[in-house]
Structures are given as structure tokens and as C-alpha cells.
Structure 1
Amino acid sequence: MQRRDMLIGAAVLGTPALARAQAGWPTRSIRMIIPFPPGGTTDILGRLIAPPLSAALGQQVVVENRSGGAGAAGVVETLRAPPDGHTICITISTLITATLLTRQPYHPVNDVSPILHLADVANILVVNKALPIASVAELIAYARANPGRLAYGSAGIGTSQHFAAELFQQAAGVSFVHVPYRGGGPALLDLVGGQVQLMFGNASSTLPFVRSDQVRGLAVTAAARQSYAPELPTIAEAAIPGYGVVEWYAVVGPAGIPAPVTERLNREILAIVGTPEARARILDLGAEVVGGTSAEFGAFLRDDLVRMEALVRRAGIRSE
């Protein structure tokens, strides 16, 4: 396929150089590409993992921020690298959604070596405090009685916040007005100010607003209650059985990385994030460590692509 050739090139696979790299891997420093600017959750995770991973592998792991295209630019940079395990990427759910909404030079499953399903970040369904709404059931009833009068903010088209809201509307039989922002921060500020009435906000940024009583938290979008906010029910238990949406974080590389290398990376990174100190730090970000094998994450990617394709088609979601 032409776009696959753009990324890896058929000549790279099966070469003697690749075989040698597998046998003595790693033979040089490892690039850990973060497809977002410094300071965000993805960057924090990368800088949490890199030092102990360097020690475990005996080679320096260099964190490299390559932002742009809602995370797509860093992914493309990663997938263009030789599949020898010396270039990896910490990416998020937009690995898939970017290809569904915009033209990208990669396939989110076929052109990727899955390494580890690192963590999940739920969204929190929050409403402006002026609304007479204290539960998910009350929100659904209010929306049905006032069609088209509720607007929700999101961090942008194609984000997990956007998809969480679209899935909610389909499942609940309600309709909101979507107001996409250039990031979750401005959307949250407008929610507090009443310019929008509700939001499915990323937990790491939204929870402080709930804790400080600036917005009213109704539920989390994950399939299970979250340990950082156990008082918040899931949307599934509150009103919509089977509902579940999270923003996932994962470690990937270009397609064709030898299995022993991906398995070693999986084990080492999982050991790092499994320590009590790392788990506590990740929990502070509003994230829950997931784990599992590389094969399990590969199966998850395939299933998520099918699910997101169906949602985009049903909701008629289009890029700006």
C-alpha cells in the first residue's frame, strides 16, 4: 500500500541489520516521542517512565516532544522510523480518531507495533451549577423537555470528550449543541461562566473544578467507578447500561518491531508504572494504569477502531 510504504518501506523488514538489532537490543539510545507539547498528561507520563527505563535497558531513553495535528505529527514521525525498537511513542486515543476524521498517512492498526496499554483517563460529566440538575437521569429528562437548549463544550472535534458526548446523545435519545474549543481549559472556563451548560471533561483537568465546587459532577464515563473519585457513579450504572468511553494512553512503535523487543518493552514499562510511587503519581493525573500484554493491546486497538468507525458513521461526525 502506498501510504504504508511512506512510513516504513518494505526493504527495512527482514534485513540482517534488523536481525542484529533484535539480538543485541538496545544497541543505542531510544527515542521516546511525545506527540504533544511539554506539560500535559502524555508528557508527564513519558518523563516519569524514561529515567527508570534507561536504567533497566542500559541505554539512554530520550524524551522528544513532536506536537502538531492533534497528536498525529508525532505518530507519523514514530511510524517512519526503522522498526528496530529504538523509536517508540506514547500516544492517546487520537491515534485512531485522527485517521477517521482527517486524511493521515498511516493505518492505526496495520502500521503500528502495539507495545502497552498504559493507562485510561475517564471523562467526568459535569454541568453548570445554575442548572437544576443533580444526576444523569435528571440531565436526560431536562434535555428531552428542552430539546436543543443545552450546549456542551469539548476540547475539539474528534477528542474523547466529543466522542463521549456523541455516544451519550445516541444512547439517551437526546440532542445537545456542540461547541468545540481549542483545548479543554477554555471549555471548562466557559462552563463555569455559563456560556455552555455541560461538558464531558478530561478527569485530570476537570476534577479540580469539581473539588472546588465550581461545577457539579454527575458521573464518570468509564465502565467502572474511579478510585480518585469513588463518589461519582458511572454513566452506565446511573442511567445508560453498557455506556463506557475513556481516553486511553499507550506505548506504540512502527510496525514490524520483533516480538522479543516489544515484549521486553512491555515488561519493563509495566514494572515501572506498577510501583506504588508511580501508581500514585498517575492517579494524581486522573489516570488508572491498565497494563496487559502487547498482544492484548493489539486486540484492543482492532476492536476500538471498529467501535469508533461505527460511532463516527452513526453520528455523522466530520472534521472542521
Structure 2
Amino acid sequence: MKTGLPTALRLGAAAAALVCAAGVQAQAFPAAGKTITLVVPFAAGGPTDKVARDLAEALRKPLNGATVVVDNAAGAGSTIGTAKAFRAAPDGYTLLVTHVGMATTPTLYRNPGYKYEEFEYLGLINEVPMVVVGKPALAANTWAELNTWIGQNKGKVNLGNAGLGSASHLCGLMLQNALKTEMTTVPYKGTAPAMTDLIGGQIDIMCDQTTNTTSQVEGKRIKAFAASTAKRVAIPAVYKDLPTLDEAGLKGFNVSIWHGLYAPKGTPPAVLKTLNDALKVALKDADFIKKEEGLGAVVVNDARVNPADHKKFVAAEVAKWGTVIKAAGQYAD
């Protein structure tokens, strides 16, 4: 006597199992051969671009060797690229790497094309000190001398920045507020042209990220006067004996620029977990840490690598920078 399911039923069940398995395989993330794109809302060669390219390399291994590339979509104070990532398909293959601009845009722009709170938060990447730097021919070599020179040239000091909402713009606002003085602000379309003019002497000073200033200071193409953070910059070979602004007399001055990783709203929870797990591995990658430390950046290793804590941190930054920007009365359309 024959037992078991009829042949037709057994074949049907096998076919259904194959279809199911194929469906599971199709949903695996990242799928073989698919590229993950990190949208950077700033020009190539800038500080955020450098961070994103280092991160792209570190993410490949924990993402099963997936190809991870950077797409620079600069313009309008980072809103063009950020909006591009916001509108991307929520499948995990288009992500956003951006800096503190995520927290300043809500105040700077009435309608940037996205809502910061509607992104899927994946985790904070690093924090970057900033340094007050000056043109090589500046008649000052220490912070005390620079402070005196600024006081003697009120209304004549040209303070450069990389554009509205840029890290250098924000630090410049804080610096003017702390010194209780106004400078002639000179905005550029990116960090590179601003630095070029600082080296050439067309502008006097700038407050910019160590990811951008370190090689220029090391090459003696610009002068460094003070760090913006509570702790000194951990690159003694370049910033030997460089004081913090707090140490130099601007008590409580503490500005660092952070970078975070985001996904479009609606990205599946399983994909978000895979990406967050990969980020945590990448942030412990020895080569990534070495590259970031070489630029003065501190890789995040606290609770802010978790989505919920990352989002809570950004909300607090929105409130903090909103106060500064409103006090300065600087807004975009």
C-alpha cells in the first residue's frame, strides 16, 4: 500500500517551497550586485566628503562586500542633496551622510524640501573639532595677539565661511557672539574656495573643521590660533600647544561638528537593523579610526550610535543652534 501525499501535491509543495525560498533570497539585504550610495550634500573634497569616503570603505566588509559609493549633491546649504536622499526609494540602497546642517536647516530655511524628524536615523559617526585659522601674513601668531588685532580692527576683519549653514558659518556666528563683535562675513560656495582665499590672503580668518585645516596648518600655508572644543585637538605634531578658546578666555565655548548616517522614511526595519549593525562594526574598524584620528576627528562610541539616541541628540542640537541663528538674524529663503 502506498503512503504519503499524491505526486501532484508533493510536486506542488516543492514548487511552493522553491518560490518561497526565492522570495526570501530576493529580500536579502544587501542583494548581490547592488550598489549602496551615500549621498553627501556637499562638494567633493570637503570635510563631510572625506568622512563619507572613509565610512564607505569601512562599511563594505560588514555589508558582505557590497559596493558603497559616494554621490556629491551640493548646493543651497546642503538642502539639495539632503532632499535628494529624503525622496529616494526607502530600500536601504540610498543613504545620507551629513553634518550638523541636519540640525540647523530647520531654522535657516523655511522650506528645505524635507523634515529632519522624518528621516530614519541610523547613528552618529564622529565629532570633529574646529580651529580658528588665519591667513599666513596675518600680524598675529597666538590667540592673544589675534584677539587684540581683532579688537583693533573692528568692522574691518574679513571672516570667511563655506556658505550659509556650513560648519564654518556656524562656528563664525558663535565666535562673533562670544567676542561680542561683528566681522565682515564672506560666504563662499564650499570649503575649498574659502580655504584657497584664506591661503591667498583675500580673507583674514576662518573657523573650520580639522578635517579641512590640518594639512594646511601642517604645510604652514595658514596659521592656527585656537580650538573650538572643550578638549585640545589630539594631533600634537600639528597643533602643538594650541589652546582651546575656553582656555584662552572664552569660557564655555565648545563647538564641534558631528556627522550622522540616515535613511529615507519607510525603510524596512530589517534593513535598518542591518545598516545600523554594519555602522557599529565600521565605527570600530581600525583603519577607519586611524584615518579619522589623523584628521582630528573623534569616532563616536557611545549610545548615539543607536537610532533612538541619535535622533534625541539631533533634536537637542536643533534647539541649541536655533537659538544661535535666531539671535544672529541670519536666515535663507
- Secondary structure of the structure 1 residue equivalent to 2:229: coil
Distance change (3 Å), C-alpha of 1:256 and 1:236: farther
Corresponding position of 2:207: 200
- The 1:213/1:66 distance shift into structure 2, 3 A limit, reads closer
Matched, 1:273 2:286: no
**Aligned-CA RMSD value:** 2.8
Give the TM-score, by structure 1 length.
0.81
- Alignment partners' CA distance in 1, 2:329 and 2:271: 40
| Residue aligning to 2:29 | 26
TM-fit CA distance, 1:261: 4.3
The answer as to 2:308 corresponding to 1:295 is yes
Larger Rg: 2
Q: Supply the distance in 1 between the matched residues of 2:94 and 2:197 (Cα, whole angstroms).
A: 39
Give the C-alpha shift of residue 263 in structure 1. Answer: 4.2
* Structure 2, unpaired ranges of 5+: 1-22
- Matched letter for residue 38 of structure 2: I
TM-fit CA distance, 1:161: 0.5
**1:93 offset after TM fit, Å?**
2.1
TM-score if structure 2 supplies the norm length? 0.78
- Are residues 218 and 57 of structure 1, via their aligned partners in 2, closer, same or farther at CA, if it must alter by over 3 Å? same
Query: Where in structure 1 are there 5+ consecutive unaligned residues?
Result: 1-19
Deviation track 1:47-85 (CA, whole Å, cap 9, x = no partner) reads 444455344233734425151324323322222234453
For residue 312 of structure 1, give the secondary structure of its aligned residue in structure 2.
helix
Query: Equivalents in 2 of 1:48, 1:188: separation in Å?
Result: 22
SS of the residue aligned with 2:62?
helix
Partner of 1:139: 146
| Helix, strand or coil at the partner of 2:81 | helix
The match for 1:248 is 258
Q: Quick check: 1:41–1:285 contact (8 Å CA) kept in 2?
A: no
Is contact 2:47-2:212 (8 Å) kept? no
**Residue 279 of structure 2: SS of its match in structure 1?**
helix
Matches within 5 A, 1:157-306: 157-228=164-235, 229=239, 231-257=241-267, 261-291=271-301, 292-306=305-319
Distance in structure 1 (CA, Å) of the matches to 2:81 and 2:106: 14
Aligned residues: 299
Alignment of 1:79 with 2:82, yes or no, is no
Confirm or deny: 8 A CA contact 1:121 1:204 kept in the other structure.
yes
CA distance in 2, matches of 1:177, 1:197: 10
Deviations 1:14-57 (A, max 9, x none): xxxxxx99xx6526346323224444444444444445534423
| SS state at 1:57 partner | coil
**Which residue in the other structure is 2:69 paired with?**
63
CA distance in structure 2 between the aligned counterparts of 1:106 and 1:38, rounded to whole angstroms: 23
Identity %: 27
